[in-house]
Structure 1
């Protein structure tokens, strides 16, 4: 095993959405709706670097 990982811990989908899409533009509204739909199936997301 390695001492560092490129996969971050899971983050709540809606918390991630709120952090990444703060504006009220049409694109931000669309992304917020998309994340709400994703939240119905998945509870968390992980960033991979």
Structure 2
């Protein structure tokens, strides 16, 4: 199950993202920075 669009990306939580194969913390930090540049964010964690 991949992510093809920014919309799909923003429907994920950071916790879901860090569990993705081959996505380490440094890469996740870069993704977070890029979506913030677009004025977007990940879905809120449901704790």
Which one has more relative contact order, counting CA pairs under 8 Å at least 6 apart? Answer: 1
User: Which category of TM-score, normalised to the shorter sequence, fits these structures?
Assistant: 0.3 to 0.5
TM-score when scaled to structure 2? 0.35
Give me the TM-score of the superposition, normalised by structure 1. 0.35
